[in-house]
Amino acid sequence: MSLISSRRRLLALPLLTLCAAALPSFSIAQAVWPARPIRIVVAYPPGGISDNIARALADRLAQQLGVSVVVENRAGAGGSIGMDLVAKAAPDGYTLGFSSISPLALNPHLGKLPYDPAKDIAPVASVMYSPVILLATPAFEGRDFKDMLVAAKAKPGSVRWATSGLATVGHIVLEQVQQGAKLEFTHVPYKGGGQQLTDALGGQFEVLSTNLSTAVMPHIKSGKLRPLAVGAPARVDTLPQVPTFAELGLAPANLSSLFGVFAPGRIPEAVLLRLNNEINLALQTPELRQRLIGADNVPTVGRAADFARQIAQESDNNARIIKAAHIKAAHIKAD
């Protein structure tokens, strides 16, 4: 062996040793995760149902993982502000997001975003879906969904349909019904659900689409608001007499608000799988399931890959309906 070859071998040894040492340390870092507090960024204001569920989930995960799990609210731009914070965080499993899937499946079709929903965000686990319910107000004299269609057909535009805003899930449901039934409604968009509910009780329009929640349930029970249809995979346990849009022959309108946990896009696979497993375990605990069901939400479980597939499918559906209906939303701006 030449002197030059021997020297090359000696010079290469420290580099090989360094690379070999680095591999176990990376694996060890994943194996001991989590070693410090975890932050969950909630993409909505404090006090709402999504915030309450996120905090309950955080408490349960803290018990399971043995570290603090803190919640931080970053609302605005239809959830895109909070999701942007997650997208730009270190992909180490210590910053997570809690949101509906709209910042990934709806907002990208409405305006330019500061993150790439396909690359910068990793779906970790679905947590719940919140059914979208169509309600009749005192201004509507019909009895059921069929009567609403008859009224809209008899006089196009006469049935006023309120939503909590342009390009919301409730608005997408409206557009799907219009296209599927080949009818025309008058859209009444609000900026949120509070004033929408007040005006509904006052009969300012005929019907509204909103998420089923503890805010609307008392008015359904009292008869002031009458349920006509629900967007959900199956009939809701608390309203078993109310058919889904799919049962009524309008499957594309059978939408609900799906919520879940997200992470930065380059999170290590081992950490993502661990998080998915821990969240699924948490959702099976009686206390968290009761918290969800008590707020008229439905717990979900499943693999991260299945959650990602659901988001991609809804994104494709939203792109089609938004293009066909020429929907635009000025509020989608996060940069």
Each residue's pLDDT tens digit, 105-163: 999 998 899 999 999 999 999 999 999 999 999 999 999 999 999 999 999 999 999 99
What are the residues whose beta carbons fall under 8 Å from the beta carbon of 42, sequence distance 6 or more?
Answer: 50, 51, 54, 71, 72, 73, 74, 75, 82, 97, 98, 99
Domain end call among 200, 231, 253? 253
Q: Is residue 172 part of a domain?
A: yes
Q: Is residue 265 located within the same domain as residue 120?
A: yes
Q: Are residues 313 and 281 in the same domain?
A: yes
Residue 235 and residue 301: Cα distance in Å, rounded? 18
Length of the chain as a residue count: 335
320 plus 308 within the same structural domain: yes
Which of these three, 204, 219, 253, is where a domain ends? 253
Note whether 232 and 280 are same-domain residues.
no
CB 98 within 8 A of CB 40: yes
The predicted-structure confidence for 226-283, as pLDDT tens digits, reads as follows: 999 999 989 998 999 999 999 999 999 999 999 999 999 999 999 999 999 999 999 9
CA distances from 225 to 140, 221, 222, 317 (A): 10, 8, 8, 29
Rounded Cα distance between 98 and 283, Å, is 14
User: In this structure, is residue 156 part of a structural domain?
Assistant: yes
Asked if the structure places residue 278 within a domain, the reply is: yes
The range of the structural domain enclosing residue 53 comes to: 36-129+257-325
Q: How many domains does the chain have?
A: 2
- Are residues 158 and 244 both part of a single domain? yes
Residues 174/163, Cβ–Cβ less than 8 Å = yes
How far is C-alpha 70 from the geometric centre of its chain's CA atoms? 20
Same domain assignment for residues 96 and 206: no
Predicted confidence (pLDDT) per residue in 56-71, tens digit = 999 999 999 999 999 9
The answer to which of 20-29, 54-63, 82-91, 191-200 has the lowest mean pLDDT is: 20-29
Exposure string over 33-60, b if 16+ CB within 10 A, otherwise e: bbeeebbbbbbbeeebbbbebbbbbbeb
pLDDT of residue 2: 44
122 and 221 assigned to the same domain = no
